[in-house]
Amino acid sequence: MNSEPRLEPGPESVPAARDTEPGEKTTPALTSDALLQGQKAVTISHNGSVYRLQATRQGKLILTK
């Protein structure tokens, strides 16, 4: 019997979906769970501006400046 603990993969270990042909460069993909980390909204600083990424009750995302 194997007594080692079984580790479940977390969001950071889930591979990104591939929308391109093999050999093409891909854009890194992050899950919304990885960005929000259990919160309803997060702020993102980009090029000197602050944005807010918010998850709705319907499961959609809203990005506002």
Per the domain annotation, does 10 fall within a domain? no
| pTM, full prediction | 0.58
Q: Is residue 59 part of a domain?
A: yes
Is residue 13 included in any domain, yes or no?
no
Q: How far is CA 52 from CA 16, 19, 20, 21, 35, in A?
A: 23, 27, 29, 33, 12
Q: What is the CATH number of the domain that holds 63?
A: 2.10.70.10
Whether 42 is in a domain gets the answer: yes
Q: Please check whether residue 2 lies inside any domain of the structure.
A: no
Domain count of the fold of the chain: 1
Determine, yes or no, domain membership for 7. Answer: no
The per-residue pLDDT for range 2-57, each reduced to its tens digit, is 555 454 555 444 555 555 566 778 889 999 999 999 999 999 999 999 999 999 99
Which structural domain range is residue 50 located in? 32-65
